[in-house]
Amino acid sequence: MGKRIFYFLLTNVLVLVTISIVLSLLGGGGYITANGIDLVALLVFSAVVGFTGSFISLAMSRWMAKMMMGVKVINPDAPQSIHERDVLEKVYRLSRAAGLTHMPEVGIYNSPEVNAFATGPSKKRSLVAVSTGLLSEMDDDAIEGVIAHEVAHIANGDMVTMTLLQGVVNTFVVFLARIAAWVASRFVKEDLAPIVHFIAIIVFQIAFSILGSLVVFAYSRHREFHADRGGADLAGRDKMTHALQSLKAYSQRIQGGDNTAISTLKISGKRGKSLFSTHPDLDERIKRLNQA
């Protein structure tokens, strides 16, 4: 889920900061009174801003992924190559098996990294894309396992769940940033307080957004195990395990190179035991899958 998460979080932060700047310039909020901060009004304001930013990020997710990754969407009526035809067939077959009533858009992006991702605002408006590196490095069974994992993310509704989670995180980010900014503005001269308050809101909001991303990363790691099990249900446990083992073998071959993904519901991403890891360790994923 690496690139999905990076772009989703980046879009979310940019949207959130933009909304905050506009509302601050317009004097929006109405939570500062003569007696200090009205916490109830601030909480309502924070929830509106937080969830608005999150849902705008969700709505832009598919467009953002295609633009940033340079995804070439496959015309289902006229695939241009054997690779395009095979990827399209796998995505559609596995999507039907997952019970999806609307087929995802399917695309290929030019990248040497071995990866794939799924994104989109809903099950009806989703995208599955694979890298050219994946198609050249993996065999047919491993590719099917990877695609099954991505389809499972869509079938599980992970992007929508993440959006709701991000909305809650955003609410606390906006709430705490404004309290901290108000406190900071009390320590300067009265004529400087509005400027300090405005700047402090942006600084604290970005800082708290980074801290809040830890919650999103933890969710990402948790959902990878579910997507692995879903991929095993769709393509078969052997193919899903083979896909993870192939990813492990690939990452070991290029160890020391730049193989960190910055993903969107990716099969592989920044992984390990760090709090900033988007993916669990591959050995742990293989172990969990075999125990499921």
**Beta strand spans in the chain (E):** 32-33, 36-37, 72-73, 105-109, 116-122, 125-131
What angle (nearest 5°) sits at the alpha carbon of residue 252, between those of residues 139 and 2?
80
- Annotated catalytic residue, options 105, 113, 144, 150: 150
The DSSP letter of residue 151 is: H
Q: Residue 133: exposed, middle, or buried by beta-carbon count in 10 A (0-12, 13-18, 19+)?
A: middle
The question of whether 190 is a catalytic residue gets the answer: no
The owner of tokens 């953002």 is 64
Distance, CA of 14 to CA of 10 (rounded, Å): 6
Distance, CA of 229 to CA of 288 (rounded, Å): 9
148 within 8 A of 234, measured Cβ to Cβ: yes
Q: What is the distance of C-alpha 54 from the center of its chain?
A: 11
Which pair of tokens denotes residue 231?
């991929």
The DSSP letter of residue 100 is: -
Q: Which residues are catalytic?
A: 150
